[in-house]
Structure 1
Amino acid sequence: MREATSTYGQDVDGFGRVTIRPVDPDTDVDLIHGWVSEERARFWGMRDAGRERVAEIYRYLDSLTTHHAWLVHRDGVPVALFQTYEPAADPVGQCYDVRPGDHGAHLLIGPPTTTERGFTGALLDVFLGFVFADPLRRRIVMEPDARNDKAVDRLLRTGFVAGPLIDLPEKRARLMFLDRESFEARR
C-alpha cells in the first residue's frame, strides 16, 4: 500500500543525483537490517531486532496509508532511510497540538562511505524538498531522541525550531518543527 511507486530524483550541484523511492520490505530488508543493527543507529530503536523482525516492521509500514518508508540513493548507491507519517495517526500526535498540514519524518543516514563535508545537509535538503513538494504540507515535525545531540544540532542548523520534550512509548524525544516558509527562505 505504498504512497507512491515512482522514484523522486533531484540533481544537486557538486553532490550528484539523489533519488528517493519507497522501501520494498522484502527486497531492502538486508540493507535496512544491516543499518539499523549498528551501534551508531541506536536511536533508531531497532538494534536488537533480527532480520525477520525488521522485515515485519517494514511490511507493516508498507500496509499503512499514513506512514511510509523511503530509501535514498546518491548516484545509485543507498545512503539513507527516511520515514514519513501523519502525526494525527501516530503516538507523537498525542503529545502536541497537530496542525493541518503537519507531516512527520524520521531520518537514518546509512554507514558513512566518506567524511564528505555537507553530506547529511545535502541529503536532508533534498528530502525536505520532497516532503514539501506536496502543497498541502505546511510544516515538518521531527522527534529525535532527546539524547541524540548530533541529530538535534543538525536539525537546528537546517532551520528547525526546537519544541518541547515529549515522552513517547519508546523514548523521550525533542519535538522539532520546520515550516514551509522557513524552508523556502533558505533556498
Structure 2
Amino acid sequence: MSNLNDLTALCLPTGSRLAADETQSRLSLSLEGQPLLTLRLNRGPELHVQLLEHFSHPEGQAIWAACYWLFARDPDCQRLVWQLQDVPHEAVLSGLLIPTSVNGQYCCERTLFWQLPQPWLGRSLTGSYPQQMVITGGKRHPLRAVKPQGEVYRRFDARLGAWVSLRTLEIEQDLARFNRWQNSPRVASFWQEEGSLEQHRQYLSKLEADPHTLTLIGCFDDQPFAYFEAYWAKEDRIAPFYDAGDYDRGIHMLVGEENHRGPHKVASWLSALVHYLFLDDPRTQRVVAEPRADNAKMIGYMHNQCFHCDKEFDFPHKRAALMVLGRERFFDRCALA
C-alpha cells in the first residue's frame, strides 16, 4: 500500500496527472506539466488556504483540483478554509465552496466534496431522472432509469496506489469469468450458484432484463476481480423485511480472484461501490446488504466501512444479517483518498 505522506502525484479519471510540490506552508500544483495554482497553507485544527497565484486553467477546476489533492493527501482532514479575493461563482454554485460570514472566506467540507459526481462518474444520468411512481408485481416504486452501459465509475485510490473502477457486465465478454468464479468452492459456499455456462448465461440474461438490478464488474487497474449486483431495494425481495426507501440501493458482492482478497482490498472496492451508488442518484439515502448471518468475515469488513447490523432475519434460503449504511454516515466518515 502507498504511504500518503510520500504522495507527489494523483491521476484523474480523465487520464490527466495532477502533480504537487508541497511544503508545510506552501503548495504548487500542476496538471499535465502545466502550472495550475500556488497556495499558502496555514496548518492548524483547520487547514487554511490562501490563493497566491492562479494560471491558465479555469479557476473552478483549479480549486477543485487543490481540494482533491489536500483531501486525498490527508484522509483525516475534514474542512478547508479558503481565502479568495474574487467570488468563485462556479465553485459556490456547485457546492464545492460555501461562503462564510467573513468577507472573502469560503469553506470546502469533505462531506460535500465527495458527493460531487464529477469526475468519478464521467456522466451522471440517474440523478436527474424524473420521478413517476409505478406498480410492478404488486410493489409501488419509482420508474427506474434505463440502465447504463460501459464504465460507470473510476477513481485512483491513493492509499492502494491503484485504479478502482466499475463497469457494467457484458455477458459475452464476462460469462466464462463469471462461471469460473461461481464454481469456486469458496464462492459457492455462500452464493450457492454453481452451474454450467448455459445456466449462468440464463442467470445473467434474466438480470440483464430486470430493470431493478444492475450487474457490475469490479476492476483494479482495469483487471476484473469481482462481480457485484446493485439493486433497487423497494422492488427486491428484501423490501418486506425493513422500511425500504424509494431510492435505497442494495448490493450483492463476490470477489472472484484470489490475489485481490484481503481487508485493504475490501476497503478500496467496497467504499468505491457504495460511493458510486450514492453518487448515481442523490435521492439514495441508504445502501443495504443481506449477507448470510454466519459470514462473519464479510460482516466484519462491512462494519469497518461504517455499515451497521440492523437485525437478523430469515429468507427462505438463508438466515441473513441486514447491513445498513446511511448517506450521512458514509460521507461524514468518508475515508476516500
Q: TM-score range by the shorter chain?
A: over 0.9
Shift of 1:10: 1.0
Cα distance in structure 2, aligned partners of 1:65 and 1:112? 31
Partner SS state of residue 320, structure 2: strand
Shift of 1:127: 0.9
Q: Is the aligned partner of 1:38 residue 2:184?
A: yes
Which residue, 291, 314, 323 being the options, matches 1:176? 323
Cα distance in structure 2, aligned partners of 1:156 and 1:2? 32
- Tell me which amino acid in the other structure corresponds to 1:156: H
Q: Based on CA coordinates, which of the two structures has the bigger radius of gyration?
A: 2
Provide Cα deviations, 1:82-125, integer angstroms capped at 9, x if missing partner.
11111121111122221233111111112222566511111111
Partner SS state of residue 91, structure 1: coil
Answer yes or no: is the 8 Å Cα contact 1:2–1:68 preserved in 2. Answer: no
Q: Which residue in the other structure is 2:85 paired with?
A: none
Provide Cα deviations, 1:61-90, integer angstroms capped at 9, x if missing partner.
011110111001111211111111111211
Partner SS state of residue 206, structure 2: helix
Cα distance in structure 2, aligned partners of 1:90 and 1:100? 11
- Tell me which amino acid in the other structure corresponds to 1:4: P
Q: Is the aligned partner of 1:142 residue 2:281?
A: no
Higher helix share: 1
Partner SS state of residue 60, structure 1: helix
Answer yes or no: is the 8 Å Cα contact 1:165–1:174 preserved in 2. Answer: yes
Q: Which moved more, 1:1-10 or 1:132-141?
A: 1-10
Shift of 1:21: 0.7
Q: Which residue in the other structure is 1:165 paired with?
A: 312
Shift of 1:34: 0.6
Q: Which residue in the other structure is 1:129 paired with?
A: 275
Which residue, 189, 197, 204 being the options, matches 1:58? 204
Shift of 1:168: 1.4
Answer yes or no: is the 8 Å Cα contact 1:22–1:69 preserved in 2. Answer: yes
Cα distance in structure 2, aligned partners of 1:181 and 1:119? 24
Q: Is the aligned partner of 1:22 residue 2:168?
A: yes
Which residue, 130, 137, 154 being the options, matches 1:9? 154
Shift of 1:9: 1.0
Partner SS state of residue 259, structure 2: coil
- Tell me which amino acid in the other structure corresponds to 1:132: F
- Tell me which amino acid in the other structure corresponds to 1:20: L
Answer yes or no: is the 8 Å Cα contact 1:2–1:62 preserved in 2. Answer: no
Answer yes or no: is the 8 Å Cα contact 1:163–1:174 preserved in 2. Answer: yes
Moved over 2 A (4+): 114-117
Q: Which residue in the other structure is 2:258 paired with?
A: 112
Shift of 1:2: 6.4
Answer yes or no: is the 8 Å Cα contact 2:164–2:268 preserved in 1. Answer: no
Partner SS state of residue 118, structure 1: helix
Question: Would the alpha carbon gap of residues 179 and 117 (structure 1) be closer, same or farther in structure 2, given more than 3 Å must change?
Answer: closer
* Structure 2 length-normalised TM: 0.53
Q: Which moved more, 1:137-146 or 1:160-169?
A: 160-169
Q: Which residue in the other structure is 2:217 paired with?
A: 71
Unaligned runs of 5+ in 2: 1-144
* Structure 1 length-normalised TM: 0.93
Answer yes or no: is the 8 Å Cα contact 1:142–1:176 preserved in 2. Answer: yes
